């Protein structure tokens, strides 16, 4: 049988709010689980869908998602905006090319950010998702709950879509939820593998050839049909009522 995988065959139709929730829950399982920390935004015109403050990513549901304007005012929803939301506000003011953004403090990505180093890509899965070159923002200007520090971090990123923020965490951008999911998973795997190899006293040079790395850098993160869908199905199996609406 000839089967060409497409998203509509692998998942139910999802609203942007549902996609945001499923991204948060899937990434929580991948190590993006620093308690209340972390923000995801999806741009819709001059407003942003956002996870609220006071809820962890693994308990987030679609009815909790808030809508804010580019000044951080809550337009829809019953929860406050996250404390660090200025990072996203400044990003979306400066970068019209970004639809979805995710900031968090995963263990291995944060370790490399704190060391002020860019980890090599040691295996093919760690290079999936593209986003160009991973950049290091190596100056800590304070918490991104302050607009000036947030803006400085965004300016320092340039046009990059993957960043390690020294003394802080990671920032992953993309045109879709699928792209941000794939990039975020690959980034933390990259950081984890590189750390393990360093601790084990392994090789300094990556065995992955430059042509493979370049192909990954050119990817927009949307080409791997099936990965995002499989992780969404895992979340829906874990919580079959997730998309049923308020209890």
User: What average pLDDT does this structure show over 68-95?
Assistant: 95
All structural domains of the chain with their residue ranges: 12-238
Pairwise CA distance, residues 151 & 57, whole Å:
25
Q: Do 138 and 209 form a contact (C-beta atoms < 8 A)?
A: no
The two three-digit tokens of residue 11, written as one number: 């998942």
Residue 121 has pLDDT above 50, yes or no: yes
Pairwise CA distance, residues 241 & 220, whole Å:
32
The whole-chain average pLDDT of the chain stands at 91
The two three-digit tokens of residue 87, written as one number: 């990072």
- Provide CB contacts within 8 A for 3, sequence distance 6+: none
Higher-confidence residue of 224 and 62: namely 62
pLDDT at 7: 55
Q: DSSP assignment, residue 37?
A: -
| Angle (nearest 5°) at CA 38 between 118 and 218 | 45
* Confidence class for position 2, pLDDT limits 50, 70, 90: very low
Q: Residue 171: which of 86, 234, 55, 230 has the closest Cα?
A: 86
Higher-confidence residue of 3 and 52: namely 52
Residue 245 has pLDDT above 90, yes or no: no
Higher-confidence residue of 243 and 218: namely 243
Give the helix ranges, DSSP H, for 116-176.
147-157
pLDDT at 230: 95
Higher-confidence residue of 133 and 71: namely 71
The CA distances from residue 133 to 13, 143, 145, in Å, are: 32, 24, 26
pLDDT digits (tens, 9 = 90+) for 23-65: 999 999 999 999 999 999 999 999 999 999 999 999 999 999 9
User: What average pLDDT does this structure show over 191-205?
Assistant: 91
The two three-digit tokens of residue 63, written as one number: 């009815």
pLDDT at 130: 77
Q: Do 187 and 172 form a contact (C-beta atoms < 8 A)?
A: yes
Query: What region does 35 belong to: left with phi over 0, alpha with psi -120 to 50, or beta?
Result: left
- Provide CB contacts within 8 A for 77, sequence distance 6+: 52, 64, 65, 66, 67
Phi, psi dihedrals of residue 53, rounded to the nearest 5°: -70, 155
Place of tokens 């084990």: 200
Q: Which fold has domain 12-238?
A: L-fuculose-1-phosphate Aldolase (3.40.225)
Q: DSSP assignment, residue 221?
A: S
């Amino acid at each position: 049988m000839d089967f060409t995988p497409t998203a509509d065959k692998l998942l139910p139709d999802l609203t942007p709010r549902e996609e945001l929730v499923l991204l948060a829950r899937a990434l929580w399982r991948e190590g993006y689980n620093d308690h209340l920390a972390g923000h995801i935004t999806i741009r819709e015109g001059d407003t942003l869908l956002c996870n609220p403050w006071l809820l962890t990513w693994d308990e987030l549901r679609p009815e909790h998602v808030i809508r804010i304007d580019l000044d951080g005012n809550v337009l829809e929803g019953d929860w406050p905006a996250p404390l660090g939301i200025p990072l996203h506000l400044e990003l979306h003011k400066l970068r019209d090319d970004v639809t979805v953004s995710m900031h968090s403090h995963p263990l291995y990505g944060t370790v490399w950010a704190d060391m002020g180093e860019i980890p090599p890509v040691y295996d093919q899965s760690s290079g999936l998702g593209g986003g160009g070159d991973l950049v290091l923002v190596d100056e800590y200007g304070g918490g991104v709950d302050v607009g000036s520090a947030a803006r400085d971090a965004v300016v320092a990123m340039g046009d990059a879509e993957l960043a390690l923020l020294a003394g802080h965490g990671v920032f992953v951008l993309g045109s879709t939820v699928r792209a941000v999911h794939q990039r975020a998973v690959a980034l933390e795997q990259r950081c984890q593998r590189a750390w393990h190899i360093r601790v084990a006293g392994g090789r300094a040079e990556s065995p992955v050839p430059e042509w493979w790395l370049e192909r990954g850098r050119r990817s927009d993160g949307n080409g791997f049909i099936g990965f995002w869908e499989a992780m969404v199905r895992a979340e829906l199996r874990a919580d079959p009522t997730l998309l049923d609406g308020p209890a």
